[in-house]
Amino acid sequence: MRAVPVLLLCGLGMLAAAGCDSGTPPPPVHTVTVTPNSPAEPGIPSSSAPSSSEAMRVFDSRVMASAVTRLLTTDYKMANVGTVSCPDRQPVADGSRFQCTVDIAGATKHVPITVTGADGKYRVDPPQ
């Protein structure tokens, strides 16, 4: 009979602990949609590009760098954001990951990018 009140107290303690937070909110995560780059590289005749049925969609690194710059300064409220550089021809494939580099106040940081769907959406995490 004594076990029932003890179990109730333990259960209430567990529920109270589950509702507590550490006081530190998780960093914001932003999803941005970009227009994938065409499969043909500039300067290469379109006849050498794969047909549309074979074409692999890739991100436009310049558009992505611009979006990352905007997110860092506007949403993440970072000061002294310099040049952002993203790798060329990253595939628009769900789950794919890569990093852009950014100069923040003279220090080079890496910005993790995770593609979150086959439609061109990706997550931009805080610089590391």
Backbone φ, ψ for residue 21 (5° rounding): -120, 165
CB 127 within 8 A of CB 104: yes
pLDDT digit of tens for each residue in the chain (128 aa)? 554 443 334 443 443 444 444 454 555 555 555 544 444 333 333 333 333 444 689 999 999 999 999 999 999 999 999 999 999 999 999 999 999 999 999 999 999 999 998 888 999 999 99
Q: State how beta strands 30-33 and 36-37 pair.
A: unpaired
pTM exceeding 0.85: no
Q: How far apart are CA 74 and CA 88, in angstroms?
A: 24
113/48 Cα distance (integer angstroms):
30
Both tokens assigned to 99: 């990093």
